[in-house]
Amino acid sequence: METVRLNHLRAALLAAAAAGLLAAVGLAVVLYAQPAEANFPGKPGKIAFSETDGTDLEIYTINPNGGGKKQLTNNSTNDIEPAYSPNGKKIAYSGREAPAGDYEIYTINAGGGGKKQLTDNSTGDYEPSYSPSGKKIAFQGDDGQDTEIYTINAGGGGKQPVTDNSSDDYFPDYAPNGKRIAYTNNAETGTDEEIYTIKPDGGGKKQLTDNTANDYYPSYSPSGKKIAYVYEAAGTDAEIYTITPGGGGRTPVTDNSTNDDDPYWGTQ
């Protein structure tokens, strides 16, 4: 089961792709639709993104100046949510190429070729995010009742649940030291979204936000001392906030009358 939010985001993305609009409106929409991802030193400097090839969504990379665009996937099904590995050599993404027709996690060489399917089931797997070591990939999967955070070996195998509850968990982002994963849960406490962190083995779960607004899309700072996220109170627009991993120091970053979404804390 997907959340309303995920359905909304993906529906908007896929509808835009179907209408052939993504190429026209450019990276802003594509980046808006991407999940928060971990940040790593020495990242390759290219931007990975998802764009329609005229019929369905493919994974591409491009230089920040707009040159050197390269298509990595080429099939008749949607490929979305690309995330670079820490050494820049691989890109993980979610695609629905497998016969069952649901989304699976794949990796592909950043230079093209070497595609590998990591998950194989009949429910949606989304939002891959590499661990800082590059050895693991965190993602959102489904346990048959609701969505959970999982990790899997970046080379395949070793899939392990991180969360285990009866509400939806999504948007995983590894801490820079790899010792915790920040994520969003939609209803473990109350009926709105809160930010949590947890150890990759599923222990030490900590709730950072506790309010009646939706708090989502966590993204660790490079130092690991702050987490940026979206705060969206009912009846108003979304703003970017930061909070410490201990749950204190909650601070607004944006303050305006329009929606601010999907923060990604880049390297300096």
Specify which residues 216 forms β-bridges with.
230
Q: By CB under 5 A, tell whether 102 contacts Ca ion.
A: yes
Q: How far is the CB of 267 from Ca ion (least distance, A)?
A: 28
Closer residue to Ca ion in complex, CB, 138/213: 213
The residue among 59, 121, 46 whose CA lies nearest residue 93 is 59
Q: Are strands 116-117 and 126-130 parallel, antiparallel or unpaired?
A: unpaired
What letter would DSSP give residue 25? H
Among the listed ranges 110-118, 119-127, 217-225, 231-239, the one in contact with Ca ion (CB under 5 A) is 119-127
User: Where do the DSSP E strands lie in 168-250?
Assistant: 169-174, 181-185, 194-198, 206-207, 214-220, 227-232, 239-243
Q: How far is the CB of 77 from Ca ion (least distance, A)?
A: 5
The residue among 137, 84, 86, 133 whose CA lies nearest residue 111 is 84
Q: By CB under 5 A, tell whether 146 contacts Ca ion.
A: yes
Among the listed ranges 144-152, 171-179, 232-240, 254-262, the one in contact with Ca ion (CB under 5 A) is 144-152
Binding mask 167-196 for Ca ion (x = CB under 5 A): --x----------------------x-x--
Q: How far is the CB of 238 from Ca ion (least distance, A)?
A: 12
Q: By CB under 5 A, tell whether 215 contacts Ca ion.
A: yes
Q: How far is the CB of 187 from Ca ion (least distance, A)?
A: 9
Q: How far is the CB of 169 from Ca ion (least distance, A)?
A: 4
Among the listed ranges 139-147, 199-207, 219-227, 233-241, the one in contact with Ca ion (CB under 5 A) is 139-147
Q: By CB under 5 A, tell whether 165 contacts Ca ion.
A: yes
Do 234 and 222 meet the contact criterion of CB atoms below 8 Å apart? Answer: no
Cα distance between residue 5 and residue 115, in whole Å? 29
Q: By CB under 5 A, tell whether 58 contacts Ca ion.
A: yes
Tell me how many residues contact Ca ion (CB under 5 A): 17
What letter would DSSP give residue 35? P
Q: How far is the CB of 229 from Ca ion (least distance, A)?
A: 10
Tokens for 26?
């450019």
Q: By CB under 5 A, tell whether 75 contacts Ca ion.
A: yes
Q: What distances in angstroms separate CA 59 from CA 51, 52, 95, 129, one per listed residue?
A: 7, 9, 9, 15
Q: By CB under 5 A, tell whether 56 contacts Ca ion.
A: yes
Do 151 and 132 meet the contact criterion of CB atoms below 8 Å apart? Answer: no
Q: Which residues bind Ca ion (CB under 5 A)?
A: 56, 58, 75, 79, 102, 104, 121, 125, 146, 148, 165, 169, 192, 194, 211, 213, 215
